[in-house]
Amino acid sequence: MNALDGIRVVDLTHAISGPTCTNALVQMGAEVVKVEPPHVGDGFRHYTEHAGEPLLSVPFASINAGKRSIALDLKIDAARDVLWKLVERADMLVENYRPGVLARLGFSIEDLRRRNPRLIVVSITGFGQDGPLAQWGAYDHIAQAISGIAALGAIDGEPRKIGLPIIDSFAGYIAVIGALAALRRRDATGEGEHVDVAMLDAALKLANQAVSVHSYTGRTPGGSGNRGFRMVPTSEFYPTGEGWIALGANNQTQVEALLSVLGAEAMLTDLRMADHAARVANHDFVRTWLTDQLAGWRAEDLERALTDAKVPAAMIRDVGGIVTHPHIVQRGSLDMVDLPGHDRPLATMGPGFITGRESDSASDPAPLRRVPVLGADGEAILTELGYDPAAVAALRSEGAAA
- Give 230's pLDDT tier (boundaries 50, 70, 90): low
Residue type, 308: D
Residue 392 pLDDT greater than 70, yes or no: yes
- pLDDT reported for residue 17: 98
Cβ neighbours, 10 Å, residue 155: 12
338 CB contacts (<8 Å, ≥6 apart)? 65, 345, 346, 367, 368, 369, 370, 371
User: Can you give the residue ranges of every domain in the chain?
Assistant: 8-206+337-398, 227-316
Residue 352 pLDDT greater than 60, yes or no: yes
On whether the 8-206+337-398 domain is CATH 3.40.50.10540, my answer is: yes
- pLDDT reported for residue 361: 44
Residue 362 pLDDT greater than 60, yes or no: no
Residue 341 pLDDT greater than 60, yes or no: yes
Mark out the alpha helices in 105-191 (DSSP H runs): 109-115, 140-147, 149-152, 166-189
- pLDDT reported for residue 127: 98
Mean pLDDT value of segment 133-138: 96
CA distances from 249 to 233, 254, 267, 306 (A): 9, 5, 15, 10
Choose, from 11, 42, 91, 168, the residue flagged as catalytic: 168
Mark out the alpha helices in 347-388 (DSSP H runs): 378-384
Q: What is the pLDDT of residues 41-69, one digit of tens each?
A: 999 999 988 898 899 999 999 999 999 99
- pLDDT reported for residue 155: 87
**Average pLDDT score, the chain:** 95
Q: What is the rounded CA–CA span in Å between residue 284 and residue 287?
A: 5
187 is catalytic: no
What's the CATH number for 227-316? 3.30.1540.10
| Least confident window among 140-154, 271-285, 352-366 | 352-366
Q: What is the pLDDT of residues 166-186, one digit of tens each?
A: 999 999 999 999 999 999 999
